[in-house]
């Protein structure tokens, strides 16, 4: 009932201004929240018929597609969102979507550009560390060392009260082991990090025992 009343309110707003992309968008958001893919997309696309460069429509369409595991379409719309928004915040959202798509090599220069511009966000260090490991030294010289540095920055930036994922310790340990495979002390440090990942989730990280 509340959703129906909200739709009626946005209908009135639209009647007052038939070029109100935001009124149309908000109607679509109601259906997005209700997980109605078809009607949500209908309104987001309707807003784009009024203004094809209305960036928020591309963003919410990307989110809706992601909600329904259609990540390729989600990425395409997020790229359009950045095209018409072109803000650092929009590029950070693009990084998150590319990471979901496992576009590790492609995401590294975007993160570096955001950091060079002064964006201070702890999660960017996480994305960079994980991406460097997945890309490897064949992609870029000293990728593992750069990834290790990124993960160290991530842990420093996040602070002791932050709830780290087991993958954070896993990637840090694996990066250390790759970057310093001939150093016994560093390999022992790597093992220590991998043990932390196992302690948090033994089942998910059982392969780390080897």
Chunked mean pLDDT (size 10), the chain, 210 residues: 54 58 90 93 94 95 93 93 94 91 94 95 96 93 95 91 92 94 92 91 72
Q: pTM, whole model, 2 decimals?
A: 0.81
The DSSP call for residue 85 is H
Q: Which residue has the tokens 């909200």?
A: 6
- Residue-level pLDDT at 64: 95
d(CA 31, CA 3): 9
Share in percent of the chain as helix, strand, coil (round to 5): 75, 0, 25
Q: Is 151 exposed, middle or buried (0-12, 13-18, 19+ CB in 10 A)?
A: buried
Query: Cβ of 73: how many Cβ atoms within 10 Å?
Result: 15
H-run or E-run covering 83: helix 71-85
Nearest to 11 by CA among 41, 52, 43: 43
- Residue-level pLDDT at 1: 46
- Residue-level pLDDT at 135: 94
- Residue-level pLDDT at 16: 45
């Amino acid at each position: 009932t509340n959703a129906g009343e909200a739709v009626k309110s946005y209908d009135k707003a639209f009647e007052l201004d038939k070029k109100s992309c935001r009124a149309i968008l908000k109607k679509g958001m109601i259906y997005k929240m209700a997980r109605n893919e078809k009607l949500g997309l209908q309104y987001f696309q309707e807003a784009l018929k009024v203004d094809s460069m209305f960036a928020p429509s591309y963003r919410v369409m990307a989110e809706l597609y992601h909600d329904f595991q259609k990540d390729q379409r989600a990425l395409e719309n997020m790229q359009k969102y950045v095209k018409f928004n072109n803000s650092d915040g929009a590029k950070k959202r693009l990084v998150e979507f590319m990471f979901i798509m496992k576009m590790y090599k492609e995401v590294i220069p975007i993160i570096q550009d955001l950091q060079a511009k002064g964006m201070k966000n702890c999660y960017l260090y996480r994305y960079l560390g994980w991406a460097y490991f997945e890309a490897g030294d064949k992609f870029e010289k000293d990728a593992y060392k750069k990834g290790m540095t990124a993960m160290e920055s991530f842990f420093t930036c996040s602070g002791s009260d932050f709830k780290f994922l087991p993958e954070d310790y896993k990637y840090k340990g694996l990066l250390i082991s790759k970057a310093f495979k001939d150093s016994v002390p560093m390999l022992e440090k790597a093992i220590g990090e991998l043990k932390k990942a196992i302690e948090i989730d033994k089942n998910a990280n059982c392969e780390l025992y080897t």
